[in-house]
Amino acid sequence: MIPAQFDYVRPPALADALRILKEREGEAKVLSGGYSLLPLLKLRMAQPALLVDIRDLDGLDRIVETAEELRIGGRATHRAIHEDATVTARYPLLRDAAGGIGDPQVRNWGTIGGSCAHADPSADWPAVLIAARGSLVCRSADGERTVPARAFFLDTFQTAIEPTELLTEVRVPRPGDRSGGAYAKIERKAGDFATAAAAVQLSLADDGTIAEAGVGLAAVAETAFAATDAEAVLRGGTPTEELFRRAAQAAAAQSRPAADGHGPVDYKRAMAAEMTLRALRRAVARARGAT
Ligand SMILES: Cc1cc2nc3c(=O)[nH]c(=O)nc-3n(C[C@H](O)[C@H](O)[C@H](O)COP(=O)(O)OP(=O)(O)OC[C@H]3O[C@@H](n4cnc5c(N)ncnc54)[C@H](O)[C@@H]3O)c2cc1C
Atom of ligand 1 nearest to the CA of 102: 5
Atom of ligand 1 nearest to the CA of 117: 34
Q: What is the CA angle 88-111-31, rounded to 5?
A: 165
**Confidence band, pLDDT 50/70/90 cuts, at residue 65:** very high
Task: Quick: pLDDT tens for 87-133.
Answer: 999 999 999 999 999 999 999 999 999 999 999 999 999 999 999 99
> Cα separation of 188 and 179, whole Å?
31
Nearest-CA residue for ligand 1 atom 4 is 102
> Cα separation of 133 and 174, whole Å?
10
Position 1 scores a pLDDT of: 79
Atom of ligand 1 nearest to the CA of 31: 30
Give residue 235 CA to ligand 1 midpoint distance, Å: 33
Within this chain, do residues 27 and 88 fall inside the same structural domain, yes or no? Answer: no
Work out how many domains the chain is built from and give that number.
3
Task: Give the count of alpha carbons within 13 A of 165, CB side only.
Answer: 19
Q: 142 exposed, middle or buried (CB, 10 Å; 0-12, 13-18, 19+)? A: exposed
Task: Quick: pLDDT tens for 7-44.
Answer: 999 999 999 999 999 999 989 999 999 999 999 999 99
Residues spanned by the domain of 69: 63-173
Q: Which of 173, 199, 230 is the last residue of a domain?
A: 173
Residue 150 pLDDT more than 90?
yes
Within this chain, do residues 75 and 43 fall inside the same structural domain, yes or no? Answer: no
In degrees to the nearest 10, what's the CA dihedral of 269, 273, 274, 280? 150
Q: 104 exposed, middle or buried (CB, 10 Å; 0-12, 13-18, 19+)? A: exposed
Task: Quick: pLDDT tens for 251-278.
Answer: 999 999 999 999 999 999 999 999 999 9
Query: Where is 232: in which H helix or E strand?
Result: helix 228-234
Give residue 34 CA to ligand 1 midpoint distance, Å: 7
Q: Which of 150, 173, 196 is the last residue of a domain?
A: 173
Task: Quick: pLDDT tens for 193-241.
Answer: 999 999 999 999 999 999 999 999 999 999 999 999 999 999 999 999 9
**Confidence band, pLDDT 50/70/90 cuts, at residue 183:** very high
End-to-end Cα distance, the chain? 46
> Cα separation of 128 and 147, whole Å?
15
Nearest-CA residue for ligand 1 atom 12 is 123
Q: The domain spanning residue 228 has which CATH number?
A: 3.30.390.50
